[in-house]
A and B are shown apart, each in its own frame.
Chain A
């Protein structure tokens, strides 16, 4: 090869330099921290002052108490309001709500896991697109429409009762409704109905994190477990489930806290007994007892903190 054959590969393509934009780009590239700061300050101000600030101001009210006679708030720190939480009537509300939230979360896990597993490990690209659409679509319609829809489904003469009759399961449905606690006059005025509706509403929030967790599990891990002698059941218990646990916990944070805070579904479906959300709503509204409302609002936060601590202790985050 001789030099005369060398092609002219680089005609002089000059980059445009100069101007304020170039100067700004150069500064931001040289000082990466400045860019991060510029990006984060507005949202941090929003989150820190407007959201967290007002939340803490509200929660702080729990250390105040209310004057029984005048109904005015006594602005002196005391534990009176917090102690009031443990009065049987109030503590029942706490236990009832936590029980419902636990049942909803467990039901969501049972419903969500197979769907998430299919989507993460078996679905092709088209089936996956259909899956996302199917999971997200219920979130696009009004929450109230869905709850009232469920009220009709669950009513004594509703579609579920009718269908159970057609299948010859009317007796089974009736004996379920005859059970204490979970039963009631009809599904729409029982805890069973309330748990079903909550599970229906929140299940997308359980499916998506589990699916994300399962998608990150390399196929070779599942093959390796089988290769080392684990039957499919053992592979599930020892590899798939532990690796999906961070997703299950993330989903449970959603389903648990959404249920703990909701006050609309319990007004439409279920028994007349109060749940936490309704108690907060009543205390800060009609009753005007802001300190007790604040004390009730502390409960979901403490319950979630306890839940996450337990999850960490049992090794749910080991795979992270």
Chain B
């Protein structure tokens, strides 16, 4: 298990201190502090334009910060060009060299380091075996499928033994089935190698399922960092609550009325139950009468949106099999556990 990073005792794999990067008047990265532990699978999650990719490029060295300080394993990388950093990148478009064979693509980093032909061919073969592409050495990148190209890009980055592997939306171009397969494969590869992975994605499902810790980016800043469960269960802000999964967001008065604290709160749809009149209910559950305004079937769950007498609109995600008869206009009884109301710090 990765340990919680503690700057005073262990060296961070990657550390940001007050890092900023501005493009003209656009503050792409606006004061980011960050510490990624060695061996950690770290996800940077956010919508496009939130600064996550710029942060990745700052680690790789494709871009330099305007302010602040970046360290990789305790070494400051100020002004170091990419080719002198012990990090490697898996690009979003894979960036395989079209004029080289798959084997030569993987061996490229070894070739520019002066490793001899026989040795680098052997290492490239091993790296390709690791990503289950044995025997593909002679092919051209154009002859491979998207998923295979992705694996070649991975092998090419790993064969030079980086201290940190950076992945820029690597699964974005794959279809759903392949993406799920690669997710678990990436995860087990990372565990086997014990390498630090920094992963950029706009897909919250991907971040939650793969990462040891997730940093949620918004408007150039990190709004919350923590293990996936913490981020999902206790979103710090309205933005996190609504970007990571979906949530009902309540203001302080609404939260208080439902038995929570007098502070803005988030309420996950799946925490809300629909109960029959007169059914036994636990003590710490608030019951609320409401009228169904919309029902949408989504396979395992049914999303039921309902309006209470006070005009509060709540969405509940309930098991589809239990609610086959719920229809628009029906009166329902919503059951809201008090501890499902999670207080938030603010908007962003």
Contacts and interface: CB of A to CB of B under 8 A. Distances in A.
A230 interface: yes
A225 B108 contact: yes
A230 B92 CA distance: 20
Interface in B45-86: 60, 62, 81-83
A79 to B, nearest CB: 42
Most chain B Cβ neighbours within 10 Å, of A223, A231, A242, A315: A223
| Consensus secondary structure, chain A interface | helix
A220 B81 contact: no
A105 to B, nearest CB: 22
A319 B91 CA distance: 20
A242 B112 CA distance: 15
B112 A230 contact: yes
B335 interface: no
B196 interface: no
Nearest to B82: A226
Interface residues of B, number: 23
A229 B113 contact: yes
A224 interface: yes
A234 interface: yes
Interface in B17-50: none
Contacts of A76: none
Contact of A223 (B91, B109, B113, B156): B91
A228 B160 contact: yes
A223 B99 contact: no
B160 A218 contact: no
B112 A234 contact: yes
Contact of B82 (A220, A223, A239): A223
Interface residues of A, number: 20
Contacts of A228: 83, 88, 108-109, 112, 156-157, 160
A319 B98 contact: yes
Nearest to A231: B83
A229 B81 contact: no
Most chain A Cβ neighbours within 10 Å, of B62, B95, B111: B95
A157 interface: no
B219 interface: no
A223 B95 contact: yes
Nearest to A242: B99
A238 B112 contact: yes
Contacts of B160: 228-229
B97 interface: yes
Interface string A209-253: 000000000101101111111110010001100110000000000
B315 interface: no
B109 A220 contact: no
A318 interface: yes
A243 B108 contact: no
B289 interface: no
A240 to B, nearest CB: 11
Contacts of B97: 221, 224-225, 239
Given A221-B95, A239-B97, A242-B99, A227 B108 contact: no
Interface string B96-138: 0111000000001101110000000000000000000000000
B206 interface: no
Given A227-B83, A228-B160, A243 B91 contact: no
Nearest to B107: A228
B98 A223 contact: no
Contacts of B99: 242-243, 315, 318-319
Interface of B: 60, 62, 81-83, 87-89, 91-93, 95, 97-99, 108-109, 111-113, 156-157, 160
12 contacts: A218-B95, A220-B92, A221-B95, A223-B82, A223-B95, A224-B89, A225-B108, A227-B82, A228-B112, A231-B83, A238-B112, A243-B99
